[in-house]
């Protein structure tokens, strides 16, 4: 990692400029040009160093969401996980060692959109989806000082 890359990644986990040209503002602060900031972030994403650059919104402030779980027979887990992943509204899914072994997050424009996805998954798989909507929010700050070796 170059010093520039370290400053870029460590310095903008929070406080990303909310301007029409945020990368130009970052570039000015870091002493480079806007094209270099954009190219560096694209390259780091392609290399798997950066998974995402984007806003994080307070849950339920601009959309509806739910945590969902399914008890999927082991011999159907890959098939059902692939189907669930095919929904644009599914943020991510993961397997757990439990009778409810497939967990995922659904985000849609509204509650009806969430319900439509759940209904569609149930219809297409023949399996029940356990809907676990958030009752109380908690703030988890995932920004942290990066460790450079």
pLDDT tens track for 86-143 = 999 998 888 999 999 999 999 999 999 999 999 999 999 999 999 998 877 766 666 6
Q: Which domains does the chain have, with CATH numbers?
A: 3-46 (no CATH), 64-132 (3.30.70.3460)
- On whether the pTM is more than 0.85, the answer is no
Highest mean predicted confidence (pLDDT) among 53-57, 113-117, 145-149: 113-117
Which pLDDT value is given to residue 12? 86
- Rounded CA gap, 23 and 78, in Å? 40
Other Cβ atoms within 10 Å of 41 Cβ, number: 19
Other Cβ atoms within 10 Å of 66 Cβ, number: 20
Q: For the chain, give the number of residues.
A: 149
Beta carbons of 55 and 22 less than 8 angstroms apart: no
């Amino acid at each position: 990692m170059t010093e520039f890359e370290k400053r870029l990644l460590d310095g903008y986990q929070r406080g990303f400029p909310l301007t029409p040209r945020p990368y130009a503002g970052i570039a000015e602060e870091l002493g480079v040009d806007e094209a270099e900031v954009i190219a560096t972030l694209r390259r780091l994403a392609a290399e798997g160093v950066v998974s995402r650059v984007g806003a994080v919104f307070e849950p339920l402030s601009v959309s509806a969401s739910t945590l969902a779980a399914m008890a999927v027979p082991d011999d159907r887990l890959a098939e059902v996980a692939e189907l669930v992943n095919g929904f644009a509204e599914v943020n991510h899914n993961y397997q757990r060692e439990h009778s409810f072994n497939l967990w995922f997050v659904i985000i849609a424009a509204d509650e009806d959109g969430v319900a439509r996805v759940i209904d569609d998954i149930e219809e297409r798989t023949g399996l029940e989806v356990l809907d676990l909507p958030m009752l109380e929010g908690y703030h988890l700050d995932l920004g942290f000082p990066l460790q450079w070796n």
